[in-house]
Structure 1
Amino acid sequence: MNSLDLDDCFQTALDLAKEAGLIISEAFKKAKKVEEKTSPRDLVTETDKLIEDQVISKLQELYPNHKFIGEESTAAGIKCELTNDPTWIIDPVDGTLNFVHSFPYTCISIALWVDKKPCLGVVYNPVLQQLYTARKNAGAFLNGERIRVSGKEDLSRSLVVMEMGYRPDEKKMEVVHRNAKKLIERCHGTRALGSAALDMCLVAEGAAEVYWENGLHAWDMAASVLLITEAGGVVLDITGGPHDLMNRRVLCAASPQLAQQMVQLLEVYDEDRD
């Protein structure tokens, strides 16, 4: 894809994110129509479905040869597959549980990947008016201002964002709790805020130094991966190998030195791939 194509795609992603933001903002304080997917903690609202339908319909109209991965369409049975073709990856409401509770840490995430690499990412929290944007080799921005990772190298002086949400898998929860205990004992502090896309953006803007999670999906992190790397950060697999978007885990850090400390510390739990 040439630069003119990517400029057009980026503007489209911005426009769609802002339109979705209006829908999220309007519904945020209202009663939500909520359905359970796999558990009482795995939820979908009519807002999730409405936004994903609108975003994918518009993208299909504009880019009929592109492919798509969406959280709700995947939940409905559409195959989740990342190829070398231009692929839009959409999470219509990341942090749905937050959204259901009117906790103001929720967003829409839109990414475009080409040749299995991120080309652009937009993450928008309309409640707090935080618009994160990135394009390959063009930097990362929050509300139009350039952002950078903190660059810290010492875990004992680093703020770690992690999620410990319950899963009905005893072995996994044991691993999660062991990892959490080790980090609580060694890092400067921990936070759990309920939106993977926004958690990763905190690392990109230097507000936290580390984010890691086991059990994500491609749409949770597709846009924010680019935001972190364009902000000078590191994105790896928890094992220390290259990050694989479909492998359902991620380690983000403000420096290579910090990433290696995390790799040596964390215990890995293997999930089924997307």
Structure 2
Amino acid sequence: MEDQWQRAYDFAVEVARKAGEEIRKAGEREIRVMTKSSTVDLVTKTDERVEKIIIGSLTDEFGEGTHCFIGEESVAKGEPCILTDKPTWIIDPVDGTTNFVHGFPFVAVSIAFAVNKQLEFGVVYSCLEDKMYKARKGKGAFCNDQQIQVSDVKDIHKSIIISEHGTDRSPEKVTKTFSTMQKILCIPVHGLRGSGTAATNMCLVATGAVEAFFEIGIHCWDIAAGAVIVQEAGGILLDVDGGPLDLMSRRMVSANNETIAKRIIKEIEIFPVGS
């Protein structure tokens, strides 16, 4: 029986690498920066150009109108952010734009593919590190073609947890974010980290470098590809309230196992996020 989505998976890896090369080249030139929702929510011409490259390549390969797209920059310009049953690509062209602008060496291309609202595969290319993470549902997770798996740590005191501050700088949300981090750090855990890119954070969970990643305020394009990679590496995904993950809810905990995830969830101060 023909593997229906293998061609799409292989092509997504090619496109992610092509996009990553464009990002690396752009980093050597002058970077023009704009803002989206706030002065800390940045977008560059590179974000927009790379998303056009990705969507254009996928459209050329699979045909106009055959697939749907949810892209970070397209949504920022008014395109709908709705996941339907149709074959859908979920794209973050430059995950870690602020890192990119400052030369901080964690920037990723994130491409996921869903059918019937179920994720089929995910590709995350950490382009400055030249690390290609990828996974297909039911077929394992890989980094540069070497299979990866989550850590076997179950003792929260022996864990490293990763999270981000987000782009919402309202005092109420900043207070809750740092209160959560303080409580987790004081469990105590071995450490609390942040790479500046959700996709990379999830891949760090998948490789066993950290035990969990949580964030409130992320978008589907930040986590869709990483979600497949974490699950295929043996990890789990939950809502911050302990329920099942809703990809469109803008909040998530990914962890190596349920024991670590549930312990972190006890400390998370939940706050509402915008649409």
TM-score between both structures, scaled by the size of structure 1: 0.96
The one-letter code sitting in structure 2 at the alignment partner of 1:49 is E
Correspondence 1:18 to 2:20: no
Which position in structure 2 is the counterpart of 1:257? Answer: 259
Contact 1:155 1:258 survives alignment (8 Å): yes
Aligned pairs for 1:38-57 (under 5 A) are 38-57=37-56
RMSD: 1.3
Which position in structure 1 is the counterpart of 2:125? Answer: 124
Which position in structure 1 is the counterpart of 2:174? Answer: 173
Instruction: State the distance in 1 between where 2:32 and 2:199 align.
Output: 23
Contact 2:166 2:218 survives alignment (8 Å): no
Instruction: State the distance in 2 between where 1:31 and 1:161 align.
Output: 31
**Secondary structure of 1:213's aligned partner:** strand
Correspondence 1:207 to 2:209: yes
Aligned pairs for 1:57-76 (under 5 A) are 57-63=56-62, 64-76=65-77
Instruction: State the distance in 1 between where 2:27 and 2:134 align.
Output: 23
Q: Which stretch shows the higher mean deviation, 33-42 or 160-169?
A: 160-169
Instruction: State the distance in 2 between where 1:233 and 1:168 align.
Output: 31
Which position in structure 2 is the counterpart of 1:245? Answer: 247
Instruction: State the distance in 1 between where 2:246 and 2:210 align.
Output: 22
Instruction: State the distance in 2 between where 1:11 and 1:234 align.
Output: 25
TM-score between both structures, scaled by the size of structure 2: 0.96
Contact 1:166 1:173 survives alignment (8 Å): no
| Structure 2 unaligned residues grouped into runs of 5+ | none
Q: How many residues align?
A: 272
The one-letter code sitting in structure 2 at the alignment partner of 1:247 is S
- Post-superposition CA distance 1:192-219 (Å, at most 9, x none): 1100000010000000001000000110
Instruction: State the distance in 2 between where 1:69 and 1:183 align.
Output: 33
Instruction: State the distance in 2 between where 1:165 and 1:121 align.
Output: 23
Report percent identity of matched pairs: 41
Aligned pairs for 1:19-34 (under 5 A) are 19-34=18-33
| Structure 1 unaligned residues grouped into runs of 5+ | none
**Secondary structure of 2:128's aligned partner:** coil
Instruction: State the distance in 2 between where 1:12 and 1:249 align.
Output: 29
The one-letter code sitting in structure 1 at the alignment partner of 2:79 is I
Given the superposition, is the C-alpha separation of residues 166 and 19 from structure 1 closer, same or farther in structure 2, using an over 3 Å criterion? closer
Contact 1:247 1:272 survives alignment (8 Å): no
Instruction: State the distance in 2 between where 1:264 and 1:167 align.
Output: 23
- Post-superposition CA distance 1:40-69 (Å, at most 9, x none): 211111111111011112222333321110
Instruction: State the distance in 2 between where 1:204 and 1:270 align.
Output: 28
Which position in structure 2 is the counterpart of 1:191? Answer: 193
Instruction: State the distance in 2 between where 1:3 and 1:265 align.
Output: 46
**Secondary structure of 2:49's aligned partner:** helix
Give the superposition deviation at 1:165: 4.0
Correspondence 1:221 to 2:223: yes
Contact 2:242 2:265 survives alignment (8 Å): yes
